[in-house]
Amino acid sequence: MPGNLFIVSAPSGAGKSSLVKALLEADPGIKLSISYTTRAPRPGEVDGVHYHFVGVDAFRDMLNHGDFLESAEVYGNYYGSSQPWIEDQMRAGHDLLLEIDWQGAAQVRKLFPDAVGLFILPPSLAELKRRLEGRGQDSAEVIARRVEAAQEDISHAYSFDYLLVNDDFATALADFHTIVQAQRLHIRNQMSHLEPLLSELLGTPS
């Protein structure tokens, strides 16, 4: 039975990365697709763990060879998800999680229409701004641009299957896990390995 593909998107400051990290720690049955990027590693980031860090020429070669399921340019840097790796993992029955923006999500769903899309929202615009300011990394001008970009991202939330508000972290994480579990129990995913039981219960040959 092929694995499930989950797409998670959110505006900057909504807490997506923290929720994804917590879900992966709580559920060993799901793997994170590690994206390729041309940006430089940030302090503490490890190649092959947080991203696959490559040069622009190497990224363009992969793009020209059709190696990316989706790709995008963000703030002058390129990002992409490996299509061969994702397809191999799904064929092996592994559930995968893609942490990408709404544009990448639209690209993925053209090839994987059964992928489950989840969009994470902040509880308010004021809280989003507070979280961005709390990072202590950006100027007021940059934060204002990020808030404006966040509103553009949020305008595309309607194209996703699920909306999750990250107000209380524990509640948001529980909701996130519930969505994953519900997809695993979907009849499309259950039919293959429950066919013998259904045949027995219905008194029909398996």
- Domain ranges, ordered by start, for the chain: 5-33+95-202
Residue 167: phi and psi, rounded to 5, are: -100, -70
For the chain, percent of residues with pLDDT exceeding 70: 98
Query: The pTM is what?
Result: 0.87
Confidence of residue 199 (pLDDT cuts 50, 70, 90): confident
Q: Which two tokens stand for residue 14?
A: 């909504």
Q: 5-33+95-202 architecture in CATH?
A: 3-Layer(aba) Sandwich (3.40)
Instruction: Tell me how far apart the alpha carbons of residues 27 and 38 are, in angstroms, rounded to a whole number.
Output: 30
Structure confidence by residue, pLDDT tens digits, 92-107: 999 999 999 999 999 9
**Collapsing DSSP states into helix, strand and coil, what is residue 194?**
helix
